[in-house]
Amino acid sequence: MDDLGALLARVSLKDRDCFSRLYKASSPKLFSVLLRILRHRTEAEDALQEVFVKIWQRADRFRPEDGKPETWLTAIARNHAIDMLRARKPQASAIDEAYDLASDEIDPETAAVNSSEGDRIENCMRILESDKADAVKRAYVEGLSYQELAELYNIPLNTMRTWLRRSLLKLRECLGQ
């Protein structure tokens, strides 16, 4: 499989062949993220095309020193899907807003701040029990719903809601220090 970082570097130079290879290598994962968040196959398919237009236009903004290419690509897809949800229904949940940390446009200063914030979040995630930290990541990075998480962890739906709410409160407290 192609190295996504190397492909992104070539795509930033507008290399169409590498863009095609990047699409083949990363589109299944990005489509999965979009589908989990949007829940409609046709909407996720359209969103995937829009995400790859953004990737083509912004590939030169990816900096390997700021993180993994998979994370950068997933953040673009996730943020695009959340933007679509917000456009669909004006009221975004407070949890989505709390975790909408990544920006579509990353300049060097923002990238440095995001990297620092990412380190702070990772450090604060360590205060959570491992299953709760995993549930938070699955909810806000992979886009799993409360129901999907409750089934995955074999716990009642309201218990999962409580897990995530309390975990976010602990994270907020830790990040506020």
Q: What is the pLDDT of residues 28-66, one digit of tens each?
A: 999 999 998 888 899 999 999 999 999 999 999 998 887
pLDDT, position 110: 55
Q: Which residues of 94-122 are buried (b: 16+ CB within 10 A; e: fewer)?
A: ebeeebeebeeebeeeebeebeeeeeeee
Torsion sign (Cα): 122, 126, 131, 136: negative
Q: Which domains does the chain have, with CATH numbers?
A: 1-92 (1.10.1740.10), 107-177 (1.10.10.10)
pLDDT, position 109: 55
pLDDT, position 63: 87
Token output for 22: 């990047």
Question: Rounded to two decimals, what is the model's pTM?
Answer: 0.51
More confident residue, 90 or 12: 12
pLDDT, position 91: 44
pLDDT tens column, 91-146: 445 445 445 544 344 555 555 555 566 677 778 888 888 888 888 888 877 777 88
Closest listed residue to residue 34, CA positions, set 112, 142, 107: 142
Task: Look at residue 87 and tell me whether its pLDDT is greater than 90.
Answer: no
pLDDT, position 139: 82
